[in-house]
A and B are shown apart, each in its own frame.
Chain A
């Protein structure tokens, strides 16, 4: 029963993929979307069952589906590992996934390729579930690449848009760079442990040298950085906003992009042995958190602001991993899934209401027109900004407190500044979208409408989760959440200390709240009280403003450094192939032909005395490319065969001279 439930979790959406993918054109959209969200909903129920069972027994179990690859001394099963970490991830993925699927029914209504959309979304669920449920690195890797594929397909959903097609390719290619690092890590693991199973690898991990552990951890980090859009591979995520908004919510905010965090936490045994790698993770995370937040300050596309905020929040999770606060990382992953899905979907509701408008400069004053959406977006903003006692407050505070109590003051400062910026740009977004005077195009303004219940319903659930989602992690570092995850995130022998005193923890909470309120206050001042102040500020520092607006010109830099040279190298090598290599080949051919002409001439004159002077004059005079190349195969063949006979003859003479032909040499 347990095994069956576990296997059903990914198989149910897979069945929907096959049905919708193969037969979807034969039945109505109603059946297609019911299959879509229905299968994910059932998966969620199965996941709840598995979760309850795991909660009761407290044991990690492995479920083998079948033997997948078998070559030499390498055997890989398609198998699942069910432990507390898997349970949390499964619940988040299927739960949030289910809500987003439901929302999509309304959001995607009437779109061309409706069935295709649900097929891809379900395929994404299958891949993501393989990713979080796999019991070895290769199943993780199938899921890893599978979610990348679905991300690619869904970013390019509006494939006839050039920008969407480009963004899709970019996302896949940048992810591939990370995947190459991930593959190298898998090879290193296989060479060192002769297995790819988590349990066996972690059990033997202590035998690893620090250097090797560091190498593996850093290669894994390359993969994680690609998938989770961290510096320097974050550039694909903002462009990924070309996909439909539910895709941005599910894949590019709540689930897929957190895969890197999951992977690091899953491999924390290896990371714990490699302090250098851990420090790298922390700094990558800290820098990304801060860097992406600064770009988010000035963006004007509602989804792009949210995209940079996602990059920034993922940075917090990496930072948490890097300072050893694995539980906090997963905690923030979970709460972030709630409030970021909420924010994206409410943003989708705004876009839906405004007939596709995404530029916040053309919004404003929507509060009264779409009150539900406004309220829901506001809840999301409060949660992400870290306002007490919403979900984001608890998880972000825990990360920052952990950094402070473990002496990582620089990282703490970066996180704190990042938190201030987050509160600022999120409230800026809220003010510009929902408050002030309306800057709507009057055509758009006439059609503004609140979204249907099928869209608002899931949002309400997410809003509730964004409010209460932090409570399982209260009190910090010793809440229910921490006890549940304790067997997974704490290495044998080690342990997360619970040393910080209550006074310090409380002080840090107050500081965190003050930072968030400060950001809110500044946004309120600039975008609600003195609305011209923001423009003045931008005008006063045009260089800085333009740099931020153009995202520090990183895309341009990468184009200049990598993309253009690669294309040019291809062209140069193409030239090399056609001129140099072919030149040699044809030169040899020409030489052979002359030789052939000569030898044939001798043959014809000296031996047979047959002359065909005209033909030969023609042949030798034929200088043009075509004439030179056409119809002369027999010449090449003749000379080659002649040479062959000579060689064979020589060998026969040689060997018969040394060993005697016809006499057995044995």
Chain B
């Protein structure tokens, strides 16, 4: 598939990056407990170091998959070990490898029981997450996709808070239900797309509109739960509250991106007609999530819940940008994914740090931290400002592009989303006011000590990223352009096909794009409104 991929130049970069943490896990079991933390940190850092050349060697001028590797895995049905990265997956890979060492660091003293198992879970998790981002074969993708569930389930269920089992079950139930429908969709694609699991080949197939409709619903079930989109979000606050800090960080920073990544990688390129037709619904759900998450955050007394609901709101911007279906919207959404990973991850780290000291996550127990912990307060304020999208911080760039993209699609939608920006300032600054400012309220306040070196080192790189991306976003944006433009072209092509063949009988057969005209039974009106979606039998 030379026109779709650029083969790796000798060194199997992606295989090395994906499986290094897994190899590290094996190593862990031969070590004494005392060395586990250092080795886990070493492995995670080595993986980050290994992923940096990807970014340097990446050719931003092409939308093709780069550093590709392919090997036959199962001959019949044809399942391959096939991996590669493009501008959509590259930033997410770097985000994952960047955050894992920080997760190890923040768990240094917080995790005292079964350290070996904990670190193993973190590293297995890293392999699974990276696998999801590089997989170019649906079966491979699904294996990694499901593999993520297990370490996460364990992280919450074993090292979590008092109500951890309830949270773990809820998390498991929600995501597994989505995954099952996703698997069904993969099988349907296999049979309808020419007996292949190759994601790139399947993306080039033109599916009938009826099929797209159902496949989109199946994808939606899987991805909307992960994002999470309203109303599939209620697992998130529970999972966050019960998860250990590292679990919360991974959950918020990377796991939530899986859903958005799924929409970008599968739903849009494979099902462009359905994506366009479902846009009003997706936008409505995104806007609901933005406002709903914000109001919910306003009502929370628990810091982790507050940040969890702010995630719902922020991820609403991501899905909003994706379904603006234009370059600004999608690039903004991708920026927002990265930024949310950095900022919300950082906020969860901050909560974890204070929880270690006061053993409470309640706002009421953690007042007035500026006096006893000035450094900590500075970090928290910076991350809160980033989270509310202050210009000069990372989040502004993403939110701004998302809103520009949305504005091109619908002005009222943008106005509603802008309300979310106001509310973000309300709940975050109100939190800062109660936690950082005013008089110390906690019983333990006088004895609180400021950040130690390990904690400082954990947070400092995130602050650097906050401002670096805020003022110089181009190194992050540039690799995206080619891939996003390619995606937009495909979507436009689909639009044109719909425009040319607005009516016709449903046709369950599929053809390669460029073959005889397809006959979509989905009609997309010029004025996007879900009522116009008519599904003929």
- Residues in A lying within 8 Å of B, measured CB to CB: 66-74, 78, 138, 141-142, 144-146, 149, 152, 156, 159-162, 164-166, 168-169, 172-173, 176-177, 179-180, 183-184, 187-188, 190-191, 566-567, 569-571, 573-574, 577-578, 581-582, 585, 589, 626, 629-633, 636-637, 640-641, 643-644, 647-648, 651-652, 655, 658-659, 661, 664-666
| Contact across chains for A655 and B183 when beta carbons are under 8 A apart | no
How far is B174's CA from A565's CA once the two chains are assembled, in angstroms?
32
Known contacts A176-B425, A640-B180, A648-B187; A162 and B439 CB within 8 A of each other: yes
B438→A160 contact, CB < 8 A: yes
A150 to B473, CA, bound (A): 23
Partner of B165, one of A67, A78, A570, A631: A631
Q: How far is the CA of A665 from the CA of B423 in the complex (A)?
A: 52
The 8 A CB mask of B149-190 against A (1 = contact, 0 = none) is: 000000000000000011011101110110010011001100
Contact with A along B451-489 (1 / 0, CB 8 A): 000000000000000000001111001100100000000
Partner of B414, one of A173, A187, A640, A647: A187
Check B169–A636 contact: CB distance below 8 A.
Answer: yes
Residues of A within 8 Å of B421, CB to CB, are: 176, 179-180, 183
The reply to whether A659 and B191 form a contact with Cβ atoms under 8 Å apart is yes
Residues of B within 8 A of A146 (CB): 390-392
* Complex CA–CA separation, A441 to B110 (angstroms): 55
Q: Are A187 and B403 in contact (CB under 8 A)?
A: yes
Known A159-B436, A180-B422, A573-B295; further 15 A-B contacts with Cβ < 8 A: A66-B472, A69-B397, A71-B404, A71-B481, A72-B326, A138-B400, A146-B391, A162-B438, A180-B418, A187-B414, A631-B165, A633-B173, A643-B180, A665-B192, A666-B194
Q: How far, in whole Å, are A191 and B405 apart by their CA atoms in the complex?
A: 10
Q: B242 an interface residue at 8 Å Cβ cutoff?
A: no
Instruction: Indicate if the CB atoms of B298 and A567 lie closer than 8 Å.
Output: yes
Question: How many Å from the CB of A251 to the closest CB on chain B?
Answer: 17
What CA separation (Å) do A573 and B290 show in the bound complex? 13
Interface: B299 (CB within 8 A): yes
Residue from B168, B426, B438 in contact with A159 in the complex, judged by beta carbons closer than 8 Å: B438
B331 touches A71 (CB 8 A): yes
Q: Are A571 and B371 in contact (CB under 8 A)?
A: no
**Contact of A191 with B408 in the complex, beta carbons under 8 Å:** yes
State whether A644 touches B183 (Cβ < 8 A): yes
B115 at interface (Cβ–Cβ under 8 A)? Answer: no
A173 vs B294: C-alpha distance when bound (angstroms): 14
Asked if residues A159 and B234 are in contact (CB atoms below 8 Å), the reply is no
> Which residues of B lie under 8 Å from residue A164 when comparing CB positions?
437
Q: How far is the CB of A201 from chain B (nearest CB, A)?
A: 15
B317 interface contact, C-beta 8 A: no
Q: Which residues of A contact B510 (CB under 8 A)?
A: 665
CB-CB under 8 A from B425, the residues of chain A are 172-173, 176
* Residues 394-420 of chain B, each 1 if its beta carbon lies under 8 Å from chain A, else 0: 001100110111011001001100110
Pick the contact of A567: B166, B299, B391 (CB < 8 A). Answer: B299
Contacts of A655 in B (CB 8 A): 188, 191-192
- Minimum CB–CB distance from A646 to chain B (whole Å) comes to 11
A68 to B390, CA, bound (A): 15
In the complex, which of the residues A145, A160, A187, A664 contacts B194, with contact meaning CB atoms closer than 8 Å? A664
A651 CA to B187 CA in the complex, in Å? 8
- Asked if B12 is at the interface of the complex by the 8 Å CB criterion, the answer is no
Residue of A nearest to B370 (CB): A159
Residues of A within 8 A of B422 (CB): 173, 176-177, 179-180
5 contacts between A and B (CB under 8 A): A71-B331, A146-B392, A149-B385, A183-B418, A640-B180
Q: Does chain A have a CB within 8 A of B327?
A: yes
CA distance A658 to B510 in the complex (A): 13
Q: Closest Cβ of chain A: how far from B420's Cβ, in Å?
A: 9
Query: If the complex has contacts A165-B437, A191-B408, A665-B195, are A71 and B332 also in contact, measured as CB distance less than 8 A?
Result: yes
Q: Which chain B residues border A630 with CB–CB below 8 Å? A: 165-166, 169
Contacts of A71 in B (CB 8 A): 327-328, 331-332, 401, 404, 477, 481
Q: Which residues of B contact A138 (CB under 8 A)?
A: 391, 400
Contact with B295, one of A187, A569, A578 (Cβ below 8 angstroms): A569
Tell me which of B165, B403, B422 has the highest count of chain A C-beta atoms within 10 A of its own C-beta: B422
Which of A149, A585, A648 has a CB less than 8 Å from the CB of B234?
A585
- Closest Cβ of chain B to A112, distance in Å, is 10
A176-B424 Cα distance, complex, nearest whole Å: 10
- Using C-beta atoms within 8 Å of the partner chain, give the interface range for chain B: 35 or more
In the complex, which of the residues A146, A161, A172, A655 has the most CB atoms of chain B within 10 Å of its own CB atom?
Answer: A172
Q: How far is the CB of A426 from chain B (nearest CB, A)?
A: 34
Known contacts A162-B439, A180-B421, A647-B184; is-contact A566 B426 (Cβ 8 Å): yes
How many Å lie between the Cα of A165 and that of B235 in the bound state?
Answer: 34
List, in ascending order, chain B residues with CB within 8 A of A636's CB: 169, 172-173, 176
Q: Which single member of A67, A74, A144, A629 contacts B474 (CB below 8 Å)?
A: A67
User: How long is the Cα–Cα vector from A626 to B165 in the complex, in angstroms?
Assistant: 9
- Compute how far the CA of A637 lies from the CA of B437 in the bound complex, rounded to whole angstroms: 47
Q: How far apart are A41's CB and chain B's nearest CB, in angstroms?
A: 25
Residues of A within 8 A of B327 (CB): 71-73
What 7 pairs across the A-B complex have the smallest Cβ distances? A72-B327, A570-B299, A165-B437, A570-B298, A159-B437, A187-B407, A142-B391
Is the pair B234, A74 in contact by a Cβ cutoff of 8 Å? no
The answer to whether B296 and A570 touch across the interface, beta carbons within 8 angstroms, is yes
Say how far A175's CB is from chain B's closest CB, in angstroms.
Answer: 9
Which of B403, B408, B471 is the one whose CB lies under 8 Å from A68? B471
Q: Does the CB pair B295–A141 fall under 8 Å?
A: no
Partner of A665, one of B194, B392, B397, B436: B194
Given contacts A72-B326, A160-B368, A585-B170, contact A165 B438 (CB under 8 A): yes
Chain B neighbourhood of A643, CB < 8 A: 180
Residues on the B chain within 8 Å of A589, using CB: 173
Partner of A69, one of B368, B371, B401: B401
Task: Report how far A518 CA is from B368 CA in the complex, Å.
Answer: 50
Q: Which has the most chain A C-beta neighbours within 10 Å: B297, B390, B391, B477?
A: B391
In the complex the two chains form, what is the Cα distance from A190 to B433 in whole Å?
A: 35
Q: Please state if A644 and B414 are interface contacts (CB–CB under 8 Å).
A: no
State which of B296, B332, B397 has its C-beta within 8 Å of the C-beta of A573: B296
Q: Which of B368-399 touch A at CB < 8 Å? A: 368, 370-371, 385, 390-392, 396-397
Q: How far is the CA of A71 from the CA of B399 in the complex (A)?
A: 12
Shortest Cβ distance from A18 into chain B, in angstroms?
A: 11
Query: A160-B370, A177-B422, A585-B234 are contacts. A152–B429 as well, Cβ < 8 Å?
Result: yes
The reply on B300 being an interface residue by CB < 8 A is: yes
Whether A637 pairs with B176 at a CB distance below 8 angstroms is yes
Contact of B331 among A72, A145, A582, A633 (CB under 8 A): A72
Residues of B near A187 (CB, < 8 A) are: 403-404, 407, 411, 414
In Å, the complex CA distance between A160 and B434 comes to: 10
A651 x B172 contact (CB < 8 A): no
Q: Which of B400, B423, B436, B474 is packed against the most chain A CB atoms within 10 Å?
A: B400
Q: Cβ of B166 and Cβ of A581 under 8 Å apart?
A: no
Give 1 or 0 for each of B207-240: 1 = CB within 8 Å of chain A CB.
0000000000000000000000001001100000
Given contacts A70-B474, A581-B234, contact A633 B169 (CB under 8 A): yes
Whole-angstrom CA separation of A160 from B295 in the bound complex = 27
Q: How far does the alpha carbon of A445 sit from the alpha carbon of B295 in the complex, in Å? A: 51
Contacts of B411 in A (CB 8 A): 187
B390/A169 in contact, CB under 8 A: no
Q: Which of B169, B177, B292, B297 has a CB less than 8 Å from the CB of A640?
A: B177
Contacts A72-B331, A141-B391, A169-B433: A184 and B183 contacting too (C-beta < 8 A)? no
Interface status of B430 (Cβ within 8 A of chain A):
yes
- Cα distance, A394 to B180, chains bound together (Å): 77
Q: How far is the CA of A578 from the CA of B396 in the complex (A)?
A: 32
Neighbouring B residues of A631 by C-beta, 8 Å:
165
Is B169 in contact with A74, judged by CB distance below 8 angstroms? no
Cα–Cα distance between A626 and B164 once the two chains are bound (Å): 11
CB-CB < 8 A to B481: which residues of A? Answer: 71
CB distance from A352 to the nearest CB of B (A): 25
Report the minimum CB–CB distance from B137 to chain A (whole Å): 18
